Amino acid sequence: MALSTESIVNDIERAGLDKHGYLFGQKLTHSLSPFLHQVIYDDLNLRWSQLRLDSADLQLFLNLLQHPSCYGASVTMPNKVAIIPHLDEMTDECRDVGACNTVFFRERDGQRILCGTNTDVIGIRDSFFYNVKDPAHTYHNRPALVIGGGGAARSAIYALRKWMNVKEIYLVNRDASEVEAVIRDCTSRGYGKDLLHIATVEQAKSVDGPGAIVACVPDFTPQTSDEKLARQITEVLLEKKHKGAMLEMCYNPTPFTALGMLAEKKGWNVILGTEALIWQGLEQDTYWTGNTIDGLPAEKVKAAIAASVAQRSQSKL
């Protein structure tokens, strides 16, 4: 049955919430986003909730945002780029990355306007900031590595270049054309300096080892020759003498990935993808609630997410 604005609004009004938001995207069943935000709202004694809107229907979404008790939304695939032409304002992060994962409202001339930001970049940055004790030794003034070629890879490059004081950024991916597109996009937006595609094992052996790694690929066993080559290149870089920190962005269905376990065995500090989820989610609620990060229950959120992940892992045994 097709979703309609009227039926969704009726369901919201029956729920008796003071405010509501949305998680707008597709394949949302396993997303921890509504759970994460509910932990925050319950702690703040807010009768708020984030509702799943499993859809790519932009007009439906824009209609729903007009409800006076809607505070905004998390935006996920496939809508992160499609929403941009409909925004009245964008933060620098949203504009520079070219993707929006958070919509919120501001007042302009007495009117409520639709704004967009990208907190994925904050999630990546803060995953390192809160989990690496000595960044100067770990990744400052060293090369970094981004594995993957999609939107998360662009966010990773932005965070590494803007906040993390790294030198060149290596790119490893199964598809060379995707890497070319990433370099082209990042360069056009002003943060594409010193991006280097590591395309062969020999090239990987010849370069200095990275200090920070962001892995932005699904947790699957390499099947094709290109996938196997990308994994071989990654392994060569993991085996370098310097051992830094790797953020494994994948956390579905579990944050304990094969690549993460491989890096850990080779001596790397592996940061789970749930960390990026937590810090980007907390940043979202600074826009929606008006609280600072310090005013939000970060430790309670971390404990709740850890318990949820453990429960999921247990149920798969």
- For the chain, the structural domain boundaries read 5-118+276-315, 122-271
| 245 contacts 139 by C-beta, under 8 angstroms | yes
* Single-letter code of the amino acid located at 23: L
Residues designated as active site: 80
The CA distance from 36 to 308, in Å, is 10
What angle (nearest 5°) sits at the alpha carbon of residue 273, between those of residues 282 and 95?
Answer: 60
Please choose, from the candidates 189, 246, 240, 182, the residue with its C-alpha nearest in 3D space to the C-alpha of residue 214. 246
Q: β-strand 269-271 against 195-197: which pairing, if any? A: unpaired
d(CA 49, CA 63) in angstroms, rounded, equals 18
Please give the helix or strand (H or E) that residue 246 lies within, else none.
Answer: strand 245-248
Give me the architecture of the 5-118+276-315 domain, per CATH. Answer: 3-Layer(aba) Sandwich (3.40)
DSSP 239: T
Phi-psi region of 121 (alpha: psi -120 to 50; beta: other; left: phi over 0): alpha
Fold of 122-271: Rossmann fold (3.40.50)
Tens place of pLDDT for every residue, the chain, 317 residues? 567 788 888 888 888 899 999 999 999 988 999 999 999 999 999 999 999 999 999 999 999 999 999 999 999 999 999 999 999 999 999 999 999 999 999 999 999 999 999 999 999 999 999 999 999 999 999 999 999 999 999 999 999 999 999 999 999 999 999 999 999 999 999 999 999 999 999 999 999 999 999 999 999 999 999 999 999 999 999 999 999 999 999 988 888 999 999 999 999 999 999 999 999 999 999 999 999 999 999 999 999 999 999 887 766 65
Angle at 250 between CA 246 and CA 254, to 5 degrees: 110
How far apart are the C-alpha atoms of 36 and 289, rounded to whole Å? 14
Q: How far apart, in whole angstroms, are the C-alpha atoms of residue 131 and residue 125?
A: 10
Within this chain, domains 5-118+276-315 and 122-271 share the same CATH topology:
yes
Helix H or strand E encompassing 23: strand 19-25
